[in-house]
A and B are shown apart, each in its own frame.
Chain A
Amino acid sequence: MISVRAMSAVLNPAVSIIRGLLPPEFNWRTRREIRLTSTFGLPTNFNAFSLNSAFKIILFSPKEPRRVAKPPNQCKLNFFNPNRSEPCGLQVTIAFQSLAASVFWAFFGWLGGLGAYGARSFAIVMAADSTMKKTAWSKLIRRTHMYLALFLTPWMVVYALSSFIFNHHALFSGGKPLAQFEKVEELPYEAVFSDGIEPREAGLQILRDLNREGAFWVGQNQKLTAERFTVNRNRAIGPERIHYYPQENKVIIERQKTTTASLLVGLHLKHGTGHPGIAANLWGIVLDLVIVGMLFWVLSGVWMWLGIKPARFWGGVSALVGIGLFLLFMFTV
């Protein structure tokens, strides 16, 4: 057995001396070998790579000072009028988008860990006592039903409130649009587009040039040869319409005043993936999760209902009334 004292805490210089080559006498009792077997070779490999490979250029070359457009203490957060073209606006946006993505995936990492831990207990229960199988399944389904719902609560509340606004539109708008667009900027803008460019591609180019990348849509029948070409940058807070006038080489930017109703309706209408930026795509992914959640709530809800004997009759009546009413609507409306 190799003594613990044979391992040295001091950095072994052998690698740097031989410049990455193996020593002439390769003895598997050497310190080098001991370090490889007891630490999976990580320190030795790191030394070898950092001292004798191209990585040393990155690791040990003097770093260039970071270029910061504005010192961070001068950055101001303005949530209700976010503009990427403002100082630090882009950094703040990226930071929040990364935060959203991190929290989202961290939650699923945590859920996965919990699931793995639960699966182990589940396997033990299943192996130990077959009469407890049903209880173990029941617990797993109930917990998934609940945690999924707790995570998706904000989205479900938004969909409920916004649907109510759609259903009673006149009550909230008085027959007018929910919120008006107002002109906020007029800028000179000259651009060269490749021949036969698709409207969506042209829209993306305009947004990039104006530092306004993110979820957007453009009318597919629009042409760059027309008097005006409009790109809709559908932000959640303060959606913008960017009108590009090719003949006049200018853009006019209009922003919608955000009201609670317009915000809820805007969030209700957001969907799809393939937008530039993290946030809009992540919204599309969460929307898929909402769909999975709704289907799972139905299936697991029916399963749980079958397990509650006193609720079987009235639960069955409720389901039949719902299905009957739905079929009536489907064939008559």
Chain B
Amino acid sequence: MNNTNLIFRRVHLYLGMSLIPWVLIYALSTFTFNHRDWFRGQFNQPDSWAQLWKKEYKADVPRQQPKLKEWARRLLDENGITGAFNVRQNRQSVLINLIQFRNPIRVTYQKNAGQLRAEQKRTTLAEVMARMHVRHGYGRGGVLYNGWAFVVDLVCFAILAWTITGLYLWWKISATRKAGWVAILSGLATFLALVFTI
């Protein structure tokens, strides 16, 4: 076995071995998206939010988004809640969502009533997988949040690397060339015909 062949085989294998959990999560969560009706009971159940605490609170809420974010950060720190979050507001309330895979928390501030409420979601396995599937992007939290985005990039790179090394390894097995061409061309024809008519 020459060097190139060995390098391609090992890259294909080791990338695959290290990314097994992500491949499984993406596959299983896609199944729940593709057959949403079968998993209807697993997503967004109305009684899935349980109250953690509720208290009286009065504050002036900044209107600009960067200042609102700072205000929300201070509010969470005061109440001992850590983690990356999104915040948005309307006339009546401010909603702070802590984006966590397993147990998301939301903190709601009712402006007129002067009331602050924290709730935690009772989550299902399908929801956890779906959250992992859709999580992407840098700059939303600390090192670990950016680490996840880096792994998403790594998965993208890995799929392309598997494709390139896979094609090379197929080409090296001369007995499978004809059948391989049939598989590639029929896949490509199906794909193009679907893209142009869907």
What is the interface of chain A, defined by CB distance below 8 A to chain B? 79, 82, 93, 96-97, 99-100, 103-104, 106-107, 110, 114, 143, 146-147, 149-157, 159-161, 163-164, 166-169, 214-215, 235-237, 263, 267, 270-273, 277, 279-280, 282-284, 286-288, 290-291, 294-295, 297-298, 301-302, 304-305, 308, 311, 314-316, 318-319, 321-323, 325-326, 328-333
Q: How far is the CA of A215 from the CA of B198 in the complex (A)?
A: 7
Closest to A311 in B: B13
Given A107-B183, A291-B30, A318-B18, is A298 in contact with B23 using a C-beta cutoff of 8 Å?
Answer: yes
List the 5 shortest-distance A-B pairs measured between CB atoms, nearest first: A100-B193, A160-B159, A326-B21, A322-B18, A294-B27
The yes or no answer to B24 lying at the interface (CB within 8 A) is: yes
B residues contacting A by CB (< 8 A) are 10, 13-24, 26-28, 30-31, 33-36, 84, 100-102, 128, 132, 135-138, 141, 144-145, 147-149, 151-153, 155-157, 159-160, 162-163, 166-167, 169-170, 176, 179-180, 182-184, 186-198
Report yes or no: A147 in contact with B34, Cβ–Cβ below 8 A.
no
The interface residues of chain B, by DSSP majority, are classed as: helix
Q: Which residues of B contact A273 (CB under 8 A)?
A: 34-35
B164 → chain A, closest Cβ, in Å?
10
**Which A residues are CB-close (under 8 A) to B162?**
149, 156
Contact: B194 with A333, CB < 8 Å? no
Q: Which residues of B contact A314 (CB under 8 A)?
A: 10, 14
Which B-chain residue is minimally distant from A100 (CB atoms)?
B193
**Judging by beta carbons under 8 Å apart, are A149 and B166 in contact?**
yes
Contact B196 A237 (CB under 8 A): yes
Which of B144, B155, B167 sits near A329, CB closer than 8 Å?
A: B144
Instruction: List residues of chain B with CB within 8 A of the CB of A286.
Output: 190, 194
Q: A150-B183, A323-B20 are in contact. List 7 more A-B contacts (CB 8 A).
A: A99-B189, A103-B193, A151-B186, A154-B192, A166-B152, A286-B194, A323-B21
